[in-house]
């Protein structure tokens, strides 16, 4: 029986499809017969329904997962205003404690075969005066999946984010190209430019290219992502880490 795996989903920016990709991967894992759960540790932007506060992204992840985590595990920090999380937290007198999220993830990983952890915004969004989402990914010690919003400027954004991920000592497990701009010129050439560099420099495969979907549909997006390849990569990385741990002992 395989050990559970988990990974952190980040993006080149906000509004580039992290939730779409996360939900699509959850669909893919479920289709492989896996128990798939999701975390949105920090969500900024909430609405009240029947006396319960919700976040649209977190609800989409719940809809795609086949294992439902308790709300305080799935989203330890649900902030009301749809603004930068450190600003929203300050306005609500909330301290974003990374250790609380790490503890929630430790519980989540006992409930499923695979846990998808979706970040907030890009890779270096401030959480406190001294910590950002890169620190969160590092504290969780998870491989990272990068969502690249395909639009003008995406090559530099993708390479800078990949460099930042590597600088934290984290593994870039793969990336997904999401066609957020249907009018982008030469998308294929842009995807190839990123693919060549991320593969040669970080051994990070292109997991799939999602066409422009209006409206976004996670089930349809799942048909364009190779979730089996990602799972294989994650399990291989886990085995390597386990071997190193045994060797040290």
Question: 66 a known binding residue?
Answer: no
Question: 17 a known binding residue?
Answer: yes
Closest CA to 117 of 142, 82, 148, 149: 142
Question: CA-to-CA distance for 93 and 232, rounded, in angstroms?
Answer: 42
CB atoms within 10 A of CB 21: 31
Question: 127 a known binding residue?
Answer: no
CB atoms within 10 A of CB 52: 9
| Cβ-contact 161, 122 below 8 angstroms | yes
Question: 118 a known binding residue?
Answer: yes
Query: Which residues have a Cβ under 8 Å from the Cβ of 25 and sit 6 or more positions away?
Result: 9, 116, 145, 222, 225, 227, 230
Question: 57 a known binding residue?
Answer: yes
Question: 20 a known binding residue?
Answer: yes
Query: Which residues have a Cβ under 8 Å from the Cβ of 120 and sit 6 or more positions away?
Result: 40, 41, 42, 43, 44, 85, 133
Active centre residues (catalytic): 40
Question: 212 a known binding residue?
Answer: yes
Judging by DSSP bridges, how do beta strands 172-178 and 42-44 pair with one another? unpaired
Question: 35 a known binding residue?
Answer: no
Question: 14 a known binding residue?
Answer: no
Question: CA-to-CA distance for 120 and 124, rounded, in angstroms?
Answer: 9
Tokens read off for 223: 């048909």
Closest CA to 175 of 133, 210, 216, 124: 210
Question: 213 a known binding residue?
Answer: yes
Question: 93 a known binding residue?
Answer: no
Question: 179 a known binding residue?
Answer: yes
Length of the chain (residues): 249
- Binding positions for Mg(2+) are 19, 57, 118
Binding residues for ATP: 15-20, 57, 118-121, 178-179, 211-213
Q: Annotated binding site: which residue ranges?
A: 15-20, 57, 118-121, 178-179, 211-213
């Amino acid at each position: 029986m395989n050990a559970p795996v988990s990974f952190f989903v980040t993006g080149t920016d906000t509004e580039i499809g992290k939730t779409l990709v996360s939900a699509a991967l959850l669909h893919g894992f479920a289709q492989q017969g896996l128990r798939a759960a999701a975390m949105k540790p920090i969500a900024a932007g909430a609405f009240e329904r029947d006396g319960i506060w919700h976040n649209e992204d977190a609800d989409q992840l719940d809809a795609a997962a086949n294992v439902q985590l308790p709300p305080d595990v799935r989203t330890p920090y649900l902030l009301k205003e749809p603004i930068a999380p450190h600003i929203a937290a300050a306005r609500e007198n909330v301290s974003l404690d990374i250790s609380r999220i790490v503890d929630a993830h430790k519980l989540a990983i006992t409930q499923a075969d695979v846990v998808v952890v979706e970040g907030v915004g890009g890779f270096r969004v401030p959480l406190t005066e001294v910590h950002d989402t890169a620190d969160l990914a590092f504290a969780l010690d998870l491989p990272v999946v990068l969502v690249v919003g395909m639009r003008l400027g995406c090559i530099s954004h993708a390479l800078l984010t990949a460099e930042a991920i590597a600088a934290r000592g984290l593994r870039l497990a793969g990336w997904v190209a999401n066609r957020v701009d249907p009018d982008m010129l030469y998308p294929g050439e842009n995807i190839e430019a990123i693919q060549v560099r991320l593969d040669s420099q970080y051994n990070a495969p292109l997991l799939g290219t999602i066409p422009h979907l209006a409206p976004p549909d996670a089930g349809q997006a799942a048909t364009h992502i190779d979730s089996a390849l990602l799972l294989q990569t994650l399990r291989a990385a886990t085995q390597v880490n386990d071997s190193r741990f045994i060797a040290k002992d």
